[in-house]
Copies of this chain bind each other. A is one copy, B any other.
Amino acid sequence: MIKEQIPDIIVGRLPRYLRTLLILRETQTTTNSKELGKRLGYSAAQIRKDLSQYGEFGKQGTGYNIDFLIDSLNHILNTDRNWDILLVGVGQLGHAILNYTGFSKFGFHIRAAVDINPNVIGKKFNTCVVQDIGKMKEIIEENQIQIAMLAVPAENAQETAEKLVEAGIKAILSYAPTTLSLPPEIRVEYTDPLISLQHMTYYL
């Protein structure tokens, strides 16, 4: 794999390019680095450099074919396939996640959900029924799930994450407002509105 060599900061921009391309596709078939850059707040040169890490997707004088670039980015990001997800924690936030249908359009499917609370175990949602957290490992192995969303209270996040890793999970998207300490081969991302709020008040 050569992938390791491409800086994560570049990888992190690719989903944003993808998103903007999907919007542009509604109205046009071609775009260029200048237009993309303007939309995203990056320089045109940066966009060209980033994309050039993975190949030559554009044409001189013309720019980029949007459909082709979308396909290419999906291939690079491994999003040209479906992914099964396990949700851990079906509280207020977990409910919202389960009811949100926006993930499946992009190939992310919440195939299973677990909680410790008997009141929600057995509850049915669009794509799955909440199961006992004791069955977590079993569920992960049977369905070969690699990605988990963590929506448990902050106090339980670390221990739950460790159990997920033991059970074979490879990547965690944590909604818990806590920094997790996990082995480096486990991919952890945080989605954390509080951090964002505290970041922006600095400038107010």
What residues make up the interface of A, taking CB atoms closer than 8 Å to B?
3, 11-12, 14-16, 18-20, 23, 39-41, 76-79, 83, 92-93, 95-96, 99-100, 102-103, 106, 108, 146-147, 149, 170-171, 173, 175, 177-179, 181, 187, 189-204
B147 touches A83 (CB 8 A): no
A193 touches B191 (CB 8 A): yes
Q: A18-B198, A92-B99 are in contact. List 10 more A-B contacts (CB 8 A).
A: A14-B202, A16-B179, A16-B195, A19-B177, A23-B179, A103-B193, A147-B201, A147-B204, A171-B204, A189-B199
From residue A10, how far is it (CB to closest CB) to chain B in Å? 10
Name the residue of chain B whose CB is nearest to the CB of A146: B204
B179 touches A197 (CB 8 A): no
What's the number of copies of this chain in the assembled complex?
2
B204 touches A102 (CB 8 A): no
Given contacts A83-B201, A95-B96, A187-B204, whether A178 and B78 have CB atoms under 8 Å apart is no
Name the residue of chain B whose CB is nearest to the CB of A188: B200
Contact of A93 among B3, B83, B100 (CB under 8 A): B100
Contact of A173 among B76, B83, B196 (CB under 8 A): B196
* B contact residues around A201 at 8 Å (CB): 77-79, 83, 147, 171
